[in-house]
C-alpha cells in the first residue's frame, strides 16, 4: 500500500504523520541525466531512493538486470550518476555522484517498482522519450537514444538504479519536498484503518487548512467602512427638513382659516391645552394615514438612491454589488420617527396659533395680512448669482474629471441647488416671510405716554402696560367699531391690555 500525490512531492506534515506508522517506508523517485561506467553509459534514467534490500550500505546501489548488461556492471563496480540540482534561484546545475553496486535484481523483481512509480506530468503520459517535457533541461539528441527508447517502450518508468532514502534525499531533495511516496507493509492494516490513523495524526493547520470565522471577519472588515446610513441621511436631510417646513406651513394656513373658531373657543372659556388638543386630534389621523404611503415611498427612494450611487459614483463601491436590504424593524422605527416629527410640527403650530387673544382671533383675518416687509432688493440677486457661479463650476468639474470620480462636482451642485432654491423662494410672493399666525402685524413704533393719551381720548382702546396677556404686536382698534379696519401698532416696552373708559390707570391709583 502506498500514498502518492498528484503534486509529485508529499507535504512534510503528511510525511511526519505517516512515519509514525510502524513499517512506513518513504521513497523518492527522480530522473537523472545519465548513468556511466567508464566509456559505457545510458541517458535519462529513473532512480528510486528508499525501498532497497536490507543490508544495502549508504552510498551503495541496487541496479536492475538491463542496466547491468548495458554497462557490463556487477557488484563492487562504481557507477557515476549525473543529475540536475535545482538552486534557490531556480537555476539547474549539473552534478555527479558515484555509487558502488551492491546487488543486481532481475526485471521481474523490479516490476513492482514500475507500478508504484509516481506519475510525472509530461512524462508518464507520453509514448516516446522525445515527447518528454518535465520542466528540466533535456538534450534532444540523448532523448533519441534507440536503446533507451526500447527500454521505455518495454519497461516504462521502472527505475534502473535504487539507493538508500538518506542518500537520495541528500542528492535529489528540493525545497518542494523530498518524498514522492510512502509505502506501508500489510501489518499496517487496510486502507480505511490507515486513513483513520493518518487523519488523527495530521494537523490541519500545518497543511494550511485553517477554519476562520468568515462572518466575523467580514463584519470586522466593514466596521470602519463608509456608513451609507449616515450618508443617505445627510443627502436626504434637506428633503426631510423641507417636507417638515411645508407641513408646518400647510397646517398654519389651515389654522389661519379657522382663527375665528379658535377665538370663539377661547371666548367661551376653553383652556389653551384643550384647544390645542382639539386641533392635534384632528391633524394626527391624517398623519397616521400618510405613514404607509410615506414608508413605501421611502423604500422606493432608497432603492433609486442606491442605483444612482452605483451609476454616478462607482469608485466609492469599488465594484462591490450593493443591494437594498429592508427590515420590518427599520420601517417601524422610521414610521415612528416620522410620526414624532409631524406631531412636533403640528404641536408647535397649534401652540403658536393659540397665543393670540380671543378678540384678535375673532376680529383679524390673518390670511389677508401681508407677510411683512421683504428683504432689500439688492440682496435678492446675490443668491442667484452665487448659484449660477456654483453651477458653472460644477459643470466644469464634471467635464474634466473621470466618470465616477466627480465628488467635488457633486458637492458644488449641492451648493448650487440650495443657493438657487433660496433665491427662488425669496422671490415667490407670500413665501418671503413667516405666516401671520406665527408673527404679528408689521411694527409701528409708539411711545408709551402717547398710547395712554390715546386710551384716554377714545374709550375701548387698548393701552400699553407691562405684564399683559397679549402678544407684543397687536392691533389698536376701537371696540365700538366692530369689523372696522384697524391700524397695526408695535410697542417696545411690553404688552397691551384693555383699559376701561378714558381714565388713566395712574389716576385710579391716586
Torsion of Cα atoms, 142 then 148 then 152 then 157, to 10° = -80
- CA–CA separation, 255 and 252 (whole Å): 5
First to last CA, the chain: 129
DSSP H or E segment with residue 135: none
Q: Is the dihedral of CA 392, 395, 399, 400 positive or negative?
A: positive
Give the residues of the chain that fall short of pLDDT 50: 370-380, 383, 386-387, 393-394, 397-400, 404-405, 407, 410, 428-505, 507-510
Contact 266, 275 (CB under 8 A): yes
Can you count the helices (H) and strands (E) in the chain?
Answer: 18, 13
pLDDT reported for residue 103:
92
pLDDT reported for residue 254:
81
pLDDT reported for residue 395:
52
pLDDT reported for residue 212:
86
At 480-502, the pLDDT tens digits run 344 434 444 333 333 334 433 44
Tell me how far apart the 2 most distant CA atoms of the chain are, in Å.
153
Torsion of Cα atoms, 281 then 370 then 357 then 355, to 10° = 50
At 121-161, the pLDDT tens digits run 777 777 788 888 777 888 888 888 899 889 998 998 899 99
SS3 222: coil
For residues 396-423, one letter each, b for 16 or more C-beta atoms within 10 angstroms of the residue's C-beta and e for the rest, the string is: ebeeeeeeeebeebeebbebbeebbebb
pLDDT reported for residue 315:
72
pLDDT reported for residue 447:
44
- CA–CA separation, 77 and 62 (whole Å): 11
DSSP string covering 48-114, please?
Answer: EES---TTPPTTEEEEEHHHHHHHT--TT-EEEEEEEEE-TTS-EEEEEEEEEEEEEE-TTTTHHHH
What does residue 314 show for φ and ψ, rounded to 5 degrees?
-70, -20
Is the full-model pTM beyond 0.85?
Answer: no
pLDDT reported for residue 72:
92
Please state, as a whole number, how many other Cβ atoms lie within 10 Å of the Cβ of residue 265.
19
DSSP string covering 295-314, please?
Answer: HHHHHHHHHHHHHHHHHH-H
Amino acid at each position: 500500500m502506498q500514498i502518492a500525490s498528484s503534486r509529485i512531492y508529499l507535504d512534510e506534515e503528511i510525511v511526519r504523520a505517516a512515519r509514525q506508522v510502524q513499517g512506513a517506508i518513504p521513497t523518492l523517485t527522480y530522473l537523472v541525466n545519465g548513468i556511466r561506467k567508464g566509456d559505457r553509459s545510458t541517458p535519462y534514467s529513473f532512480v528510486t531512493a528508499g525501498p532497497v534490500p536490507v543490508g544495502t550500505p549508504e552510498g551503495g546501489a541496487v541496479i536492475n538486470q538491463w542496466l547491468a548488461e548495458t554497462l557490463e556492471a556487477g557488484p563492487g563496480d562504481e557507477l557515476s550518476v549525473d543529475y540536475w540540482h535545482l538552486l534557490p534561484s531556480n537555476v539547474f546545475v549539473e552534478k555527479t555522484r558515484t555509487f558502488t553496486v551492491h546487488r543486481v535484481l532481475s526485471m521481474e523483481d523490479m516490476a513492482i517498482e514500475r507500478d508504484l512509480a509516481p506519475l510525472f506530468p509530461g512524462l508518464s503520459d507520453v509514448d516516446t522519450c522525445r515527447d518528454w517535457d518535465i520542466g528540466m533541461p533535456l538534450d534532444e539528441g540523448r532523448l533519441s537514444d534507440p536503446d533507451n527508447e526500447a527500454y521505455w517502450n518495454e519497461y516504462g518508468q521502472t527505475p534502473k538504479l535504487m539507493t538508500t532514502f538518506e542518500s537520495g534525499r541528500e542528492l535529489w531533495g528540493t525545497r518542494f519536498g523530498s518524498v514522492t511516496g510512502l509505502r506501508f507493509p500489510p501489518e499496517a492494516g487496510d486502507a480505511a484503518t490507515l486513513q483513520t490513523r493518518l487523519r488523527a495524526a495530521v494537523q490541519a493547520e500545518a497543511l494550511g487548512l485553517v477554519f476562520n470565522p468568515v462572518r466575523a471577519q467580514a463584519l470586522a472588515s466593514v466596521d470602519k467602512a463608509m456608513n451609507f446610513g449616515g450618508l443617505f441621511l445627510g443627502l436626504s436631510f434637506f428633503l426631510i427638513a423641507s417636507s417638515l417646513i411645508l407641513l408646518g406651513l400647510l397646517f398654519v394656513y389651515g389654522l389661519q382659516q379657522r382663527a375665528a373658531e379658535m377665538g370663539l373657543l377661547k371666548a367661551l372659556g376653553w383652556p389653551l391645552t384643550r384647544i390645542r388638543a382639539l386641533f392635534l386630534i384632528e391633524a394626527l389621523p391624517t398623519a397616521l394615514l400618510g405613514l404607509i404611503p410615506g414608508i413605501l415611498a421611502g423604500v422606493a427612494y432608497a432603492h433609486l438612491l442606491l442605483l444612482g450611487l452605483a451609476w454616478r459614483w462607482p469608485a466609492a463601491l469599488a465594484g462591490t454589488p450593493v443591494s437594498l436590504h429592508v427590515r420590518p424593524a427599520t420601517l417601524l422605527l422610521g414610521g415612528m420617527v416620522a410620526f414624532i416629527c409631524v406631531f412636533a410640527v403640528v404641536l408647535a403650530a397649534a401652540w403658536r396659533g393659540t397665543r393670540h387673544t380671543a378678540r384678535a382671533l375673532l376680529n383679524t383675518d390673518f390670511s389677508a395680512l401681508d407677510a411683512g416687509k421683504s428683504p432689500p432688493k439688492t440682496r435678492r440677486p446675490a443668491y442667484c448669482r452665487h448659484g449660477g457661479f456654483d453651477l458653472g463650476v460644477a459643470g466644469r468639474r464634471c467635464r474634466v474629471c473621470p466618470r465616477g470620480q466627480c465628488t467635488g462636482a457633486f458637492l458644488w451642485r449641492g451648493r448650487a441647488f440650495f443657493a438657487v432654491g433660496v433665491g427662488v423662494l425669496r422671490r415667490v410672493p407670500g413665501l418671503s416671510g413667516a405666516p401671520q399666525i406665527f408673527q404679528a402685524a408689521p411694527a409701528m413704533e409708539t411711545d408709551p405716554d402717547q398710547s395712554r393719551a390715546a386710551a384716554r381720548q377714545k374709550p375701548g382702546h387698548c393701552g400699553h402696560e407691562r405684564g399683559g396677556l397679549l402678544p407684543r404686536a397687536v392691533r389698536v382698534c376701537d371696540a365700538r367699531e366692530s369689523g372696522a379696519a384697524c391700524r397695526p401698532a408695535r410697542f417696545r416696552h411690553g404688552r397691551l391690555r384693555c383699559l376701561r373708559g378714558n381714565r388713566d390707570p395712574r389716576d385710579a391709583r391716586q
